[in-house]
Amino acid sequence: MAEVLTQRDAGPSTPARVAPKSRPGKLSRYQTRWAWFFVSPWLIGFLLFTLIPIVATLGFSFTNYSPVTPEATRFIGVQNYVRMTTDPKVATSLLVTVRYAVLAIPITLGFGLLLAAMVNAKSLKGQSFFRTMFYMPSMIPVVAAGLIWAGVMNTQTGWLNLGLEAIGLPAPDWLNSTFWIYPALVLIGLWGTGNLMLTLLAGMQGVPNELYEAASIDGAGAWVKFRHVTLPMISPVLFYNLTLMIIGAFKYFDMAYVLKNGTGGPADATLFYNLNLYKNAFEYNLMGYASALAWVLFLIVFALAVVLFGTSGRWVYYAGDGKK
Amino acid sequence: MTTTASTQPKLAAAPRPAATMRQHNLMERILVSGLAVVILLIFLMPLGYMFTTGLKSDAQMSDPDAPVWWPFSQEMFTYNGETYPVYKVPTDAGVQRLAAVKKTRVATTFIDPANPAAGEIVWEGNWRTLEPAYFPDAQWHNFVTAWEQLNFPLLFRNTLIIAITGTLGAVISSVFVAYGFARFNFTGKNALFMILIGTIILPVQATLIPTYIVFARIGWTNTFLPLIVPHFFANAYNVFLLRQYFMQIPRELDEAAMIDGANPLQILLRIIVPNSVPALAAVSLFHFFFAWNDFFSPLIYLVSRPELWPLSVGLQKFNALYGREPNMIQAGALITLILPVAVFFLAQRVFMQGIVFSGVEK
């Protein structure tokens, strides 16, 4: 046993079975060297593609850099940030993003819970069939999904409005109305609830059956059990998904771009924060200004994450966690 | 890996009269199943629209009177070498399908296609008020036309190059990093892992502009490299999923190999990798279809080189240029989604377990 280890570059004469971390010395150094070797791809990538670019973004945000005239680049202080406060497009894009998030997140979470509860219900025949089918639209590429829905929602031959008219409901011009575009985006987003459904479902399946039995003995009905057993028990999964969705609203881009060909229309109603950033950087070539927008986005996301994680202790229940 | 609800013990022992209980269960079953079927139909509706629209003719797309639920063409009838449109004409003998050979505003002359020998029938009234007669007529060749117009062979080739090389890089690098986090102890490991997970919520825009500028400077824009090379440095989702899986593999296996003289790299290749096939399959599929769907990066890096476009950008640009051909667009959308959806149905277990594995254990 020992000769195996001496043959490598480490050689304590103790059996390898002893936990290495408890024993400082050559074995631990041998381990550490290998550990850094294995995590190095990510470390190098993190430096090259995350850390250095974030700092560089901050640097660019104090310049007027444009790829068209790189030789004219100069340091302009906080001018880009000052400009943001007076740029009406920035205010519009923030408003669009928040408006969408406020509408989309509760509806999507609620729908995800409904789907998960449904495919978890013992009373549903063919659970796995429905799980598969409800997940399937999540596999459809975003561009294809956008074009399909643009067709479904068109006012002449779209099936959505024909169906609504058939049951006597009003048929709005979903994609060209500054009001209906938001419900339209939320509806399209519901097609991709598959991931949310599956993670919530797994959370629900992890709830110990004894809790439901105990609630039954106390005379609790299905709703009370859902509200007071299921929801608290899956609150970590809900929290994780809520965090991703709030931040996702600030990253929202593809669907808005596909549906309106990147115009941000109608009347800037789909000018999401990220689309505005893209236009500044790649259409107007204002990369210094876009860097300032990107840094503010980074700060917004960071602040949201801090607030969410800071308050999570109040409403997220971690089973077996001694802390409050 | 997951316990399904069906394996849990049934709660049949509740102290309720059996008859009401059964009735209650039946009601619940009908309600839940009914709701599930309704949602399923709504979920499938856009696909039905896509499929039927993709089969429609150009004439039907521009004909406001045409039925919209299925591909139809107006019936035509050839009489004495001329082709005439067929209308539904109300006559004394009920509604008849007749070919209009001569149209005026006050009267129309018809021929009965079923009985042309009977000669001309004159109907008084404006022919414009008549409903055209249609017959189901699916244009299967639309898919061939879309295939050629969008140049799908090229789009598929580009997409496959980007997706396959990116997947190889992402999986290999993530296996290394996940193994490092799963099996070794070193100072700063927990802090590093927290940073790694933190990158999940980092918006790409925060790093986008300097990265783009550097790629442009070294001549990588308008090549596949910006879409492939960064994936060779692992990513948080893959590492997290693989690490969770690796930690389930008993350490005794590593130790046995170590006793046989294997170094950590050999342990990774001989013990960990062969025991992690489901997780590796999930990660590979996730990355492959991430690359298949990715729209933002190719839009930025390849926008001025149509011959390098992948499916996502090719389809979007085609729509931007030819938005007036919705049947071609829908046929193109079908061709684009068929592979991911087919693979999903074949490998659904791998997919769905992978999602559960990476999404819940937070």
Tokens of B216: 């442009």
Q: Is A240 on the interface with B (CB under 8 A)?
A: yes
The mean pLDDT value for B293-308 works out to 94
The mean pLDDT value for A74-97 works out to 95
Provide the residue ranges of all domains of chain B, joining segments of one domain with +.
Answer: 76-132, 143-360
Nearest chain B alpha carbon to A296: B206
Question: Does A45 sit within 8 Å of B337, measured CB to CB?
Answer: no
Tokens of B247: 């930690």
Whether B97 contacts B86, CB under 8 Å: yes
Is the confidence at residue A316, as pLDDT, over 90? Answer: no
Phi-psi region of B14 (alpha: psi -120 to 50; beta: other; left: phi over 0): beta
**How much of chain B, in percent, has pLDDT values that exceed 70?**
93
Min mean pLDDT across A188-197, B55-64, B152-161, B191-200 is at B55-64
CA distance A149 to chain B (A): 7
pLDDT at B135: 82
Instruction: Calculate helix-pair angle for A88-120, A194-205, nearest 10 degrees.
Output: 50
Min mean pLDDT across A24-38, A47-61, B268-282, B335-349 is at A24-38
Confidence bin at A266 (pLDDT 50/70/90)? very high
Residue with tokens 């063409």: B73
Contacts across the A-B interface (CB distance below 8 Å): 315
Alpha carbon distance B190, B196 (integer Å): 10
**Higher-pLDDT residue of A321, A129:** A129
Residues contacting A129, CB < 8 A, separation 6+: none
For chain A, what is the domain count? 1
Confidence bin at B164 (pLDDT 50/70/90)? very high
pLDDT at B315: 93
Q: Which of A136, A321, A126, A120 is nearest to A236 (CA)?
A: A321
Nearest chain B alpha carbon to A51: B207
Alpha carbon distance B165, A138 (integer Å): 23
Cβ-based neighbour number of residue B297 at 10 Å = 19
Is the confidence at residue A23, as pLDDT, over 60? Answer: no
Instruction: Please list every residue in chain A whose beta carbon sits closer than 8 Å to the beta carbon of residue B295.
Output: 142-143, 254, 257-258
pLDDT at B359: 58
Alpha carbon distance B267, B273 (integer Å): 9
pLDDT at B356: 74
Confidence bin at B15 (pLDDT 50/70/90)? low
**Selected residues 75-94 of chain A with any CB under 8 Å from a CB in chain B:** none
Instruction: Please list every residue in chain B whose beta carbon sits closer than 8 Å to the beta carbon of residue A57.
Output: 206-210
**Higher-pLDDT residue of A156, A251:** A251
Residue with tokens 């990660």: B283
Question: Does B32 sit within 8 Å of A123, measured CB to CB?
Answer: yes
Confidence bin at B181 (pLDDT 50/70/90)? very high
Residue A80 forms part of a structural domain: no
Compute the Cα dihedral for B65, B321, A100, A238 and give only its sign.
positive
Nearest chain B alpha carbon to A294: B206
CA distance A36 to chain B (A): 7
Question: Does A39 sit within 8 Å of B192, measured CB to CB?
Answer: yes
The mean pLDDT value for A133-144 works out to 94
CA distance A162 to chain B (A): 9
A104-138 residue pLDDT tens: 999 999 999 999 999 998 888 888 899 999 999 99
A25-40 residue pLDDT tens: 777 888 889 999 999 9
Q: What single letter denotes the amino acid at residue A312?
A: S
The length of chain A is 324
pLDDT at B86: 84
User: Between β-strands B134-136 and B72-74, what pairing exists: parallel, antiparallel or unpaired?
Assistant: antiparallel
pLDDT at B354: 80
Pick from A177-181, B58-62, B101-105, B344-348 the range whose average pLDDT is largest: A177-181
pLDDT at B6: 43
- C-alpha distances in angstroms, A279 versus A249, A254, A285? 17, 13, 8
The mean pLDDT value for B85-104 works out to 80
Question: Does B210 sit within 8 Å of A35, measured CB to CB?
Answer: no
Tokens of A138: 């999540």
Q: Which of B236, B230, B332, B346 is nearest to B291 (CA)?
A: B230
pLDDT at B361: 44
**Higher-pLDDT residue of A32, A93:** A93
pLDDT at B81: 78
B218-262 residue pLDDT tens: 999 999 999 999 999 999 999 999 998 999 899 999 999 989 989
Whether A84 contacts A93, CB under 8 Å: no
Compute the Cα dihedral for B173, B176, B177, B182 and give only its sign.
positive
The mean pLDDT value for B125-142 works out to 81
**How far apart, in Å, do the first and last CA atoms of chain B sit?**
16
Report the residue from A149, A191, A216 with minimal CB separation from B43: A191
Question: Does A124 sit within 8 Å of B344, measured CB to CB?
Answer: no
Instruction: Please list every residue in chain A whose beta carbon sits closer than 8 Å to the beta carbon of residue B4.
Output: 127-128, 205
Q: Was domain B143-360 assigned CATH 1.10.3720.10?
A: yes
Q: Which of B141, B122, B175, B156 is nearest to B58 (CA)?
A: B141
Whether B107 contacts B124, CB under 8 Å: yes
Alpha carbon distance A256, B334 (integer Å): 20
Phi-psi region of B81 (alpha: psi -120 to 50; beta: other; left: phi over 0): left
Residue A68 forms part of a structural domain: no
The mean pLDDT value for B98-105 works out to 79
DSSP state of A207: S
Alpha carbon distance B66, B71 (integer Å): 9
Query: Tell me, what CATH number does A169's domain have?
Result: 1.10.3720.10
Cβ-based neighbour number of residue A78 at 10 Å = 11
Alpha carbon distance B316, B350 (integer Å): 30
Nearest chain B alpha carbon to A242: B201
Range of the domain at A180: 87-315
A278-296 residue pLDDT tens: 999 999 999 999 999 999 9
A210-250 residue pLDDT tens: 999 999 898 888 889 999 999 999 998 899 899 889 989 99
**How much of chain A, in percent, has pLDDT values that exceed 90?**
62
Cβ-based neighbour number of residue B120 at 10 Å = 12
Q: Which residues of A200-230 are buried (b: 16+ CB within 10 A; e: fewer)?
A: bbbbbbbbeeeebeebeeeebeeeebbeebb
Alpha carbon distance A317, A304 (integer Å): 20
Residue A44 forms part of a structural domain: no
Mean pLDDT, all residues of chain A: 87
pLDDT at B12: 46
pLDDT at B362: 38
CA distance A319 to chain B (A): 12
Whether A149 contacts A259, CB under 8 Å: yes
Is the confidence at residue B10, as pLDDT, over 50? Answer: no
Instruction: Please list every residue in chain B whose beta carbon sits closer than 8 Å to the beta carbon of residue A305.
Output: 201
Report the residue from A121, A131, A141 with minimal CB separation from B340: A141
Beta bridge partners of B74: B134
Instruction: Please list every residue in chain B whose beta carbon sits closer than 8 Å to the beta carbon of residue A316.
Output: none
Q: What SS3 state is found at B224? A: coil
Q: What SS3 state is found at A295? A: helix
The mean pLDDT value for B124-151 works out to 84
Write down the ipTM of this complex: 0.84
